[in-house]
Structure 1
Amino acid sequence: MKVMLSIAGSDSSGGAGIQADIKTAEAFGVFCATALTVLTAQNTTGVRSIMPVPPQFLDEQLAMVMEDLPVKAVKIGMLYSTELIRVVERFVKTLSIPVVLDPVFLSKAGSPLLQPEAVEAMRALFPYATVLTPNQHEAKALFGEPYHVKAPCPVIVKHFTTEKESHDTLFYPNGTKRTFASPKLETKNLHGSGCSFSSAIAANLALGKPLEEAIMRSKAFIYHAIFHAPALGHGPGPLGHKQGGLHVR
């Protein structure tokens, strides 16, 4: 069994963060180890409070996982603070495996998930990423314009939509790009879709898939996971990860 590592926060409602990453990896038949960055008190309507782990404890989690498990890919999600970003920066410098970096700024309910001063610190991770996965709002914050991305690594900007389709556009450092499309679903059940898309890419990279194939398989998974969402909660509901996985295995 292939192994991936998710470095991210915990979602107490189970729809996003580490919990979504584990469910997504399992949907592709990949084992998911974890290193927690923050605990959150949240549900589908928003985040009430955030408690970061001590940086040294994050470092110890990373060391213990890598000492014991044959990790084939890493997904990085919510990092929250400059101190935690610095720990992850030291870690990724040691890696020779794919790294998927999801620059998490906001929850689907609009709650901030990254301290403002940490945005610039996170840029230090870009050269070590196999792919960066911002949504269009995060891309605008990072690059000034989500349609004119410039980065030292490939960047796939999520959630462009037309009347009938959902588009994710992959920008390469050399200026070329490719768009991946799927039918647009009219639904509020999108909680954790960004986390799940990024972790799906990481799972497929762990399986040895090339980047563009990993993205195509991940986009198909997300479409079916949203389509089969269980409609839980009073806000944007979580996805149907298990049902999504049945369409891509």
Structure 2
Amino acid sequence: MNSQWTALLKNIGEWQGSFTRLSSLGEILEDTPSVVSLEGLDDNKKIRQTIRLGGSEKVLEYSSLARSVLFFDNGAFSQGSIQLAPFSEFGAEFGFIYENQRLRLVQLFDKNFQLDKLTLIREHLAGTQPPQKPSFTVEDLLGEWLGEAVTIYPDWRSPDSFSTKMQLQIDGNGRLTQNLTFDGRTISSTATIKNSIIHFDQDPQKQVQVLLLPNGASATSPLKLSMRQPFFLEVGWLIQPGLRQRMIRSYSDKGDWISLTLVTEQKI
């Protein structure tokens, strides 16, 4: 049994929660109760996945994983488009798992490569209580975060590990300043803040939006994708005060999916 399949098995169980459909600005459009069950068959060589969403039910069975998905050892994963192509929809799902909770988020872009809609999926194992989380604000992110990152690759090369440091603060003009250090490099950027939207607007060609969403979720993406520029999609989860995970799905300037990174960081 390979390590990817073993990591998938960390998600076995009955997960109760809801699918929340959101606009590209993070506005809640629809919230539908859900039950997603993953059951191991044939000594866990196969998976039966049952999705009950509102009044509908869908059952899937599989014994292998698609090229479009990668799992980390703890069961976190991302699946989605492996290539940005003209006149086609593009998107990805990110899934985190922590004790009795899962948080998943789907980002979808339209055929013009503009951010179109999102789906936030908040789940807990059947028989357990979901934690009650306060609203997620910029203030929850301010400070210094130290993390450990693991990068895995769709071509199956060996993973890379490195330390990270992120510093976030508000400057005298009310802008958010971010200094991110990873793999020996430091990137500095600034953003405007409007309610639950953070907008990195320094480079007109690479404008990036961060949406702060319920249950500590955040969604980071370019406002519009480009065929000729590298880009990334990121989803974060503030699991509890001072503990956060972020997952980054990176694409090359040719639009190819090249890596997936999971950062686990703590505020100091």
- What TM-score do the two structures reach when normalised by structure 1? 0.29
Higher Cα Rg, which structure: 2
Higher RCO (CA 8 Å, separation ≥ 6 residues): 1
Per residue, is there more helix in 1 or in 2?
1
- What TM-score do the two structures reach when normalised by structure 2? 0.27
